[in-house]
Chains A and B, each alone.
Chain A
Amino acid sequence: MSKALTYGLLLSILMVIAPHADHLTLWVSSLCGILLLWRAYLNYSGKAQPKKWLLMLITFAGTGGIAVSFHTLFGREVGVTLLMLLATLKLMELRTARDAMAIIYLALFIIITNFFYSQSIPTALYMLATLFVITATWIQLHGRNIPLKPRLRVAAILLLQAIPLTLILFILFPRVQGPLWGLPQDAYSSSGLDDKMSPGSLSRLILSEAVAFRVSYKDKPPLREQMYWRGPVMWDFDGHAWTPGSTTEQFLAPQFTERSQTIDYTVTLEPHNKTWLFALDVPDMISLPATLSYDFRLYGKKPVNARVRYEARSNLGYRANLKESDTQIRRALQVPKRFNPRAQQLAAEWKAGYTNDAAIVQAALSFFNRQGFQYTLEPPLLGSNGIDDFLFETKQGFCEHYASAFVFLMRAANVPARVVTGYLGGEFNDIGNYYIVRQSDAHAWAEVWLNGQGWVRVDPTGVIAPARIQSGLSASVSNNAALPFMARNPPQWLRNLNLNWDALANQWNQWVLGYDNERQFAFLTRLGMESVTWQRMAVNMAAGLGLLVAVFALFMLRQLYTRNKTDKVQAAWLKLCKRMAKAGLPRAAHEGALDYAARIATARPEIAEPIHDLATRYSALRYGKIRDEQAQREFLQRISAMKT
């Protein structure tokens, strides 16, 4: 095993495990790093590879360590970690060509595991770079004495030739809707809204710039203050956290009346590993199989664990559940009596003071408005009577605090109310003409049930920080240092760059990552393929690949037959001889180039000099030892400029 080859394999393994560094357990990353360094040192110093028993020891210790820190040896995360450790250890016992080959195949396999975590454009580019390095190493394995430059050239050619072929395959390879077998629990990462809301849970989410979903509106987008995307609805409060709770009436259908302001839009939802789907209040139609719950949430059958795209229609004006069942009203009035006595006291005063529920709502909102409440991302910690502390002491909170306190007050004042979580607003991308809704747009608001009006949205945050609703987070928070960078107000050029990038990423998501059997069907139909069946796709694919490979073969093999420059030199010279023959000076069979030139020179003194020059150059190029491309080119130029 040559040193250079070992370095190549080291680099390959390093490149495939590097992207995993941030989600591997720290000690595994360190162990892999140390092993790689050790291997590099051994290779550099030319020392022997470690003994077999030592490797066995490390292998067992490592596997044991992984089993202990993960509490299992099964599952995706553990599998990836083990694979990484084994690949690194395999490098330590590099003896035969077969070992090297195993490492190359392992490296290729590890590239794929990285896609569990990211499939972005940078990841794709990094994959190409890694593949290039691996291929160059791979070639070295089968051509030991090929110098680096031609090796890289061959690797690049292979890769470049494979790219258009891959495009054909990618478009036409019949897609099967996975999964083929049950996936382990940890198969998908989840980020985004949770089905539990406690003080601090949303403000943590706000710190994430991750995209929750993207929306493109068919016609005019609605006003910002109408962009309420409904997520989990919280009914139950235990004094600290809100949860959706459960009801026996969960299959009750909602009733909407007086629908108006129809709006159509398309949502591309990032995977969040939960069943719910997001729609503007209140949804009317959706292109996916989904259910509209009794509290107006949309949810699918299975968790969204891959990016999903759906079209939906909503009515921004509506009246919802004018008649609500008693069970639900009772649920919407539940308050833990043990906590927050002052808040309950205040609510009792309102209840006594006002005759109708709408007035109580107004009273609560003006309470928030007048009592010097602040909207902040970093609220002080609250005690066990969190709502009392918030309402009467700290008076600093985030939307979740306001929604929570408001609903508590309503319930205590005997107004049915519930907390709704979701997203509000979004950033408009004028390059791609769509809205980006990020995790930092997460929001919580309230709904109260008023007799004669049904469920009505009340957003207490709007009273304290109206800017949050009308123009987004950064405008509403005074100290925005805690916000993610893009949620503050970055310079315009950076914003544009970011929007451009997101538009590109969106196309990538739609066309590359979201290319499933439906997309494939739609795309192929648009390309003009009638009745898209997998047989047809397979035939087209085979034909396309065959054609392209044939074209490549033609170009590649033509190289074998092209005449080289020396032949061209001779051909040009013979052509000149023919021209001279026409001019009445044919070359005799025995005559060498110089003799012939001398004869021409005496017969036609006016071209003596150029013809002598050409003849000298010709004999040097044809019979000399040097193969000088520059000289050949010069000769060819001169000979074509020659007048006879």
Chain B
Amino acid sequence: MLAKLKTRFRAWALRRQRHDDGTVTLTQRRIYIIPTRQGFALAFVLVLMLLGDINYNLSLGYVLTFLLAMMAVMSMLHAFRNMAQLQVRAGHAEPVFATESARFVFHFHNNSRLDRYQINLHDMQGHSTVFDVAALGHSEVILNIPATQRGWLKSGRVALYTHFPLGLFHAWSYLHFDIRCLVYPRPLSHAALPKGSTPDGAGKRSTAGDEDFAGLRNYVAGDALQRIAWKVLAREQGLKVKQFSTPLGEELWLDYSAATDRSDEEKLARMVRWVLDAEAQELRYGLRLPDGELPANLGAAHRDECLRRIALFNLPQQNDPLPLVGEGLGKGKL
């Protein structure tokens, strides 16, 4: 019954709410407030007290009862004020491996001279975190959501609530940033690199993999910040990433078809292990998946791109807005 009401309320409250972009200010239109169970319990206690006051003609009892009732009323305003005019911005969620926790980052700015206490941030599955925001301060709040499977993990709608100061009122607000966290498959704990990929074999150890500038390519999420061509960006030619190449030599191909596991997922898990190992051993490696390949290369950016391809392999295409870093959150789409 209560759950049903909750869902209906949510549907009503969110009927117009699209995805949030950029910085969201918690205005009164976004904050809802209802009494908590403890609030109702206090109301019950107050009614008992009032009956006692009437019955025993306790004038001071009336005073106490009224004081408590009015404190409760004012606590509603305090609860509202504890959240009002906070500014929220979603941060970047670093990719994680499956079974780890995705760390969704939210930045809360408090531009008022008022400390905010005990605000609870939670997602609809019940993962939550509690934080304070000092007056004129800023809090970086991390919401940990366990990543269970590879692909994009969306935080989905999250809610903020506070019971401050007396726990009598539940003031809450919904946030729906279109943020997501890339989840790589969980690597196998151990897997030998494909044949001929030992340092003295087919794979060529490259010590100067990042030295020769080889051109620019479009930015893809997960690219290392050091590789972004800031000067190009400053010339307003778009977000580009510098590519480097090393002298051509023998390359190690991490091939999907070379993985011997039965299920696709296991194959992918093996490939993740390969990528990590090859990167750790500083081998030049290329990635070959049934839906395409990445030429051999080396470096964090290459590794991340490989992992990304693996993570997203064979998943239904999601609206994949381009820049996904920092504040450049995807435009909300319905």
Are B58 and A115 closer than 8 Å at their CB atoms? yes
Contacts A143-B118, A180-B54, A515-B59; A165 near B78 (Cβ below 8 A): no
> How far is it, in angstroms, between the C-alpha of A162 and the C-alpha of B75 when the chains are bound?
10
Contacts A105-B45, A131-B67, A180-B55; A112 near B85 (Cβ below 8 A): no
Most buried by B among A166, A176, A556: A166
Are A560 and B58 closer than 8 Å at their CB atoms? no
Q: How far is the CB of B75 from chain A (nearest CB, A)?
A: 6
Q: How far is the CB of A567 from chain B (nearest CB, A)?
A: 10
Are A143 and B117 closer than 8 Å at their CB atoms? yes
- Chain B residue numbers with a CB within 8 Å of A246 are none
> How far is it, in angstroms, between the C-alpha of A150 and the C-alpha of B69 when the chains are bound?
22
- Chain A residue numbers with a CB within 8 Å of B111 are 564
- Chain A residue numbers with a CB within 8 Å of B165 are 138-139, 142-143, 154, 158
Are B70 and A112 closer than 8 Å at their CB atoms? no
> How far is it, in angstroms, between the C-alpha of A515 and the C-alpha of B58 when the chains are bound?
10
Determine whether A512 belongs to the interface, using a CB cutoff of 8 Å to chain B.
Answer: yes
Are A166 and B67 closer than 8 Å at their CB atoms? yes
Q: How far is the CB of B216 from chain A (nearest CB, A)?
A: 31
Q: How far is the CB of B50 from chain A (nearest CB, A)?
A: 9
Choose, from A116-124, A380-388, A483-491, A593-601, the stretch at the interface. A116-124
Determine whether B71 belongs to the interface, using a CB cutoff of 8 Å to chain A.
Answer: yes
Determine whether A557 belongs to the interface, using a CB cutoff of 8 Å to chain B.
Answer: yes
- Chain B residue numbers with a CB within 8 Å of A123 are 60
Determine whether B73 belongs to the interface, using a CB cutoff of 8 Å to chain A.
Answer: yes
> How far is it, in angstroms, between the C-alpha of A250 and the C-alpha of B77 when the chains are bound?
63
Q: Is the interface of B mostly helix, strand, loop or mixed?
A: helix
| Least CB separation from A139: chain B residue | B165
Contact of A178 among B48, B57, B113, B117 (CB under 8 A): B57
Q: How far is the CB of A620 from chain B (nearest CB, A)?
A: 18
> How far is it, in angstroms, between the C-alpha of A549 and the C-alpha of B77 when the chains are bound?
9
Residues in A137-185 with C-beta less than 8 Å from chain B: 138-139, 141-146, 150, 154, 158-159, 161-163, 165-166, 169-170, 173, 176, 178-181, 183
> How far is it, in angstroms, between the C-alpha of A111 and the C-alpha of B53 when the chains are bound?
12
Determine whether A542 belongs to the interface, using a CB cutoff of 8 Å to chain B.
Answer: no
Are B61 and A559 closer than 8 Å at their CB atoms? no
Determine whether A109 belongs to the interface, using a CB cutoff of 8 Å to chain B.
Answer: yes
Are A183 and B66 closer than 8 Å at their CB atoms? no
- Chain B residue numbers with a CB within 8 Å of A138 are 165-167
Q: Mark A529-562, 1 if CB is under 8 A from B, else 0.
A: 0000000000000000100010011001101111
Are B73 and A173 closer than 8 Å at their CB atoms? no
Determine whether A88 belongs to the interface, using a CB cutoff of 8 Å to chain B.
Answer: no
Determine whether A461 belongs to the interface, using a CB cutoff of 8 Å to chain B.
Answer: no
Are A115 and B61 closer than 8 Å at their CB atoms? yes
Are B64 and A112 closer than 8 Å at their CB atoms? yes
> How far is it, in angstroms, between the C-alpha of A159 and the C-alpha of B38 when the chains are bound?
19
Determine whether A127 belongs to the interface, using a CB cutoff of 8 Å to chain B.
Answer: yes
| Least CB separation from B81: chain A residue | A556
- Chain B residue numbers with a CB within 8 Å of A158 are 71, 74-75, 78, 165-166
Contacts A119-B58, A166-B63, A513-B60; A552 near B74 (Cβ below 8 A): yes
Residues in B13-72 with C-beta less than 8 Å from chain A: 38, 41-42, 45, 48-49, 51-71
Q: Mark A574-595, 1 if CB is under 8 A from B, else 0.
A: 0000000000000000000000
> How far is it, in angstroms, between the C-alpha of A115 and the C-alpha of B54 when the chains are bound?
13
> How far is it, in angstroms, between the C-alpha of A141 and the C-alpha of B168 when the chains are bound?
12
Determine whether B97 belongs to the interface, using a CB cutoff of 8 Å to chain A.
Answer: no
Residues in A97-140 with C-beta less than 8 Å from chain B: 101, 105, 108-109, 111-112, 115-116, 119, 123-124, 127, 131, 135, 138-139
- Chain A residue numbers with a CB within 8 Å of B58 are 112, 115-116, 119
B: number of interface residues (CB 8 Å): 49
Contact of A562 among B42, B53, B112, B164 (CB under 8 A): B112
- Chain B residue numbers with a CB within 8 Å of A111 are 64
Most buried by A among B38, B56, B68: B56
Determine whether A610 belongs to the interface, using a CB cutoff of 8 Å to chain B.
Answer: no
Residues in A302-331 with C-beta less than 8 Å from chain B: 306
Are B77 and A552 closer than 8 Å at their CB atoms? yes
Are A127 and B64 closer than 8 Å at their CB atoms? yes
Contact of B163 among A127, A142, A162, A545 (CB under 8 A): A142
Q: Is the interface of A mostly helix, strand, loop or mixed?
A: helix
- Chain A residue numbers with a CB within 8 Å of B74 are 158, 161-162, 165, 549, 552
- Chain A residue numbers with a CB within 8 Å of B271 are none
Determine whether B293 belongs to the interface, using a CB cutoff of 8 Å to chain A.
Answer: no
> How far is it, in angstroms, between the C-alpha of A173 and the C-alpha of B53 when the chains are bound?
12
> How far is it, in angstroms, between the C-alpha of A516 and the C-alpha of B58 when the chains are bound?
10
Q: How far is the CB of B331 from chain A (nearest CB, A)?
A: 29
Contact of A165 among B52, B65, B73 (CB under 8 A): B73
| Least CB separation from B82: chain A residue | A143
Determine whether B132 belongs to the interface, using a CB cutoff of 8 Å to chain A.
Answer: yes
A: number of interface residues (CB 8 Å): 59
> How far is it, in angstroms, between the C-alpha of A186 and the C-alpha of B45 when the chains are bound?
24
- Chain B residue numbers with a CB within 8 Å of A560 are 81, 84-85, 112, 114
Are A139 and B166 closer than 8 Å at their CB atoms? yes
Q: How far is the CB of A396 from chain B (nearest CB, A)?
A: 44
| Least CB separation from A138: chain B residue | B166
> How far is it, in angstroms, between the C-alpha of A411 and the C-alpha of B166 when the chains are bound?
72
Determine whether A252 belongs to the interface, using a CB cutoff of 8 Å to chain B.
Answer: no
Determine whether B115 belongs to the interface, using a CB cutoff of 8 Å to chain A.
Answer: yes
Contact of B73 among A115, A183, A549 (CB under 8 A): A549
Are A159 and B164 closer than 8 Å at their CB atoms? no
- Chain B residue numbers with a CB within 8 Å of A553 are 77
Contact of B63 among A116, A124, A142 (CB under 8 A): A124
Most buried by B among A158, A163, A515: A158
Determine whether A514 belongs to the interface, using a CB cutoff of 8 Å to chain B.
Answer: yes
> How far is it, in angstroms, between the C-alpha of A553 and the C-alpha of B77 when the chains are bound?
7
Determine whether B191 belongs to the interface, using a CB cutoff of 8 Å to chain A.
Answer: no
Determine whether B136 belongs to the interface, using a CB cutoff of 8 Å to chain A.
Answer: yes
Q: How far is the CB of B233 from chain A (nearest CB, A)?
A: 22
Contact of B38 among A101, A131, A514, A564 (CB under 8 A): A101
Contacts A115-B61, A559-B113; A178 near B163 (Cβ below 8 A): no
Are B60 and A127 closer than 8 Å at their CB atoms? yes
Contacts A109-B45, A112-B49, A178-B54; A512 near B60 (Cβ below 8 A): yes
- Chain B residue numbers with a CB within 8 Å of A143 are 117-118, 164-165
> How far is it, in angstroms, between the C-alpha of A382 and the C-alpha of B228 when the chains are bound?
113
> How far is it, in angstroms, between the C-alpha of A557 and the C-alpha of B113 when the chains are bound?
11
Contact of B84 among A306, A513, A514, A557 (CB under 8 A): A557
Most buried by A among B68, B71, B75, B115: B71
Q: How far is the CB of B110 from chain A (nearest CB, A)?
A: 9
> How far is it, in angstroms, between the C-alpha of A161 and the C-alpha of B76 when the chains are bound?
12
Are B63 and A170 closer than 8 Å at their CB atoms? yes
- Chain A residue numbers with a CB within 8 Å of B60 are 115, 119, 123-124, 127, 512-513
- Chain B residue numbers with a CB within 8 Å of A135 are 71, 166
Are A108 and B57 closer than 8 Å at their CB atoms? no
Contact of A154 among B56, B65, B78, B84 (CB under 8 A): B78
> How far is it, in angstroms, between the C-alpha of A105 and the C-alpha of B46 when the chains are bound?
10
- Chain B residue numbers with a CB within 8 Å of A161 are 70-71, 74
Are A142 and B85 closer than 8 Å at their CB atoms? no
Contacts A559-B112, A564-B111; A181 near B55 (Cβ below 8 A): yes
Q: What are 7 A-B pairs at a CB distance below 8 A?
A: A109-B45, A116-B56, A143-B165, A166-B70, A513-B60, A516-B57, A560-B81
The 4 closest A-B CB pairs, nearest first, are A162-B70, A165-B70, A169-B66, A142-B167
8 further A-B pairs in the complex, CB-CB below 8 A; given A142-B167, A561-B112? A101-B41, A101-B167, A105-B42, A108-B68, A158-B75, A162-B68, A559-B114, A560-B84
Interface residue ranges, A against B (CB under 8 Å): 101, 105, 108-109, 111-112, 115-116, 119, 123-124, 127, 131, 135, 138-139, 141-146, 150, 154, 158-159, 161-163, 165-166, 169-170, 173, 176, 178-181, 183, 187, 306, 512-516, 545, 549, 552-553, 556-557, 559-562, 564, 627
